[in-house]
Amino acid sequence: MATSKGTVLGIIALIIGMSGLGLGVFTFLKPQVIEEPLGIEYPVSSEKEINEALDAIGTGYGIITITNTITLNGTITIDSGGNYIIQGAGAIIKCASNQRAIYITNSTSLTIQNIKIDATALTELSLNIIQIEEANDNHIYVKNVQIFGDDNIMGFGISINSDNVWVSECYFYKVRTGIWQSTGEKAHISDNIIDDCSEFGIRLEGSNNFIDGNLITYVFIGIFADYNAHYNSISNNIIYFFRWHGIRIISENNTIVGNYIKDVQLNTGTMQGIVIDGSYNTINGNGCYNIKSTPIDIGFGINIMGGANNTVVGNTCLFNDNPFLASGSATNTYVSGNQFY
């Protein structure tokens, strides 16, 4: 329990190389190739200049490059239906105390990349720092964006409320939840680092999403698929030092494969690596290790709490209070080829 965060992040390469222990193959997705639109580049150094550049681009094409640190008084709103790249050049955007940083409602195409967002001034507990609700479900790409708070733990990193959102290579630190999809489908959330969040690493309330290759540490629940979050692929994620569940599924027809879940931060109460309370889910090739609790014997590697017709195949659960449990309320659970010790 004394392992430092630096040590945790430093052993990723070792984990990836441990496929011989039945942990699955941890192949991180390559970054999504984004075709940059043609258009004028607008170097900007103030909130006013950002808004002027957005107005100048209108429904056309343009690149907005933030050249220095900007302290916002309001929210950068993208609502004109244009084709934009918004990027940083070593710059930081500082949020106002009660305002989103970026709010997206209408864009034909949009990439936000290489920006740091300082959320330490937030005073609104449930504020969405980047809120995406593109009216026509056009593709939105968020790449290499860092969102960081402080010990006050305010706000949600990225809120997704539309289809076709890609979030990759981003870093979330000390916010309530890293990524929260409250509506929408076909999100691609890959290769992000989510650290020290008070609630969820990733919370899904939509379907047909791809969650792959994320590193999630020091959170309450690593990945949560809520009641309406069906047909999701949750694969190759690494979850360390969670405070309740590594992965929790209460929906149907999800595939949970090749995830590595290890250690709890607080070992009081029922701790569970993977817990399922929905039907027709497939749990395949995952590794759950050292899930223990005080009092003893209520930590579980994999727990099928309820639902019907779930499949548990080829998983490895070692050094837990209990490797596996299928509760009485779970029916027709198929269990085969696992290493449970």
Task: Give the pLDDT mean for 90-111.
Answer: 96
Task: Give the pLDDT mean for 96-107.
Answer: 96
User: What b/e string do you get for 295-333 counting C-beta neighbours within 10 Å, with b at 16 or more?
Assistant: eeebbbbbbbbbbeebbbebbbbbebbbbbebeeebeeb
Asked whether residue 26 carries a pLDDT value surpassing 80, the answer given is no
Task: Give the pLDDT mean for 65-70.
Answer: 96
Q: How large a percentage of the chain has pLDDT more than 90?
A: 84
- Position 295 scores a pLDDT of 78
DSSP 19: G
- Position 36 scores a pLDDT of 53
Task: Give the pLDDT mean for 257-286.
Answer: 95
> In this predicted model, what pLDDT tens digit does every residue of 182-202 receive, in sequence order?
999 999 999 999 999 999 999
- Position 28 scores a pLDDT of 35
Q: Of 173, 153, 161, nearest to 215 (Cα)?
A: 173
d(CA 258, CA 231): 17
Give the global pTM. 0.89
- Position 3 scores a pLDDT of 45
pLDDT band at 8 (very low <50, low <70, confident <90, very high): very low
Asked whether residue 27 carries a pLDDT value surpassing 90, the answer given is no
d(CA 314, CA 332): 17
- Position 266 scores a pLDDT of 81
> In this predicted model, what pLDDT tens digit does every residue of 119-170 receive, in sequence order?
999 999 999 999 999 999 999 999 999 999 999 999 999 999 999 999 999 9
Helices (H), the chain: 5-10, 12-16, 47-57
**Average pLDDT of the chain?**
90
- Position 296 scores a pLDDT of 78
Q: Which residues pair with 275 in a beta bridge?
A: 248, 303
Task: Give the pLDDT mean for 245-262.
Answer: 98
Question: Contact 281/254 with Cβ under 8 angstroms?
Answer: yes
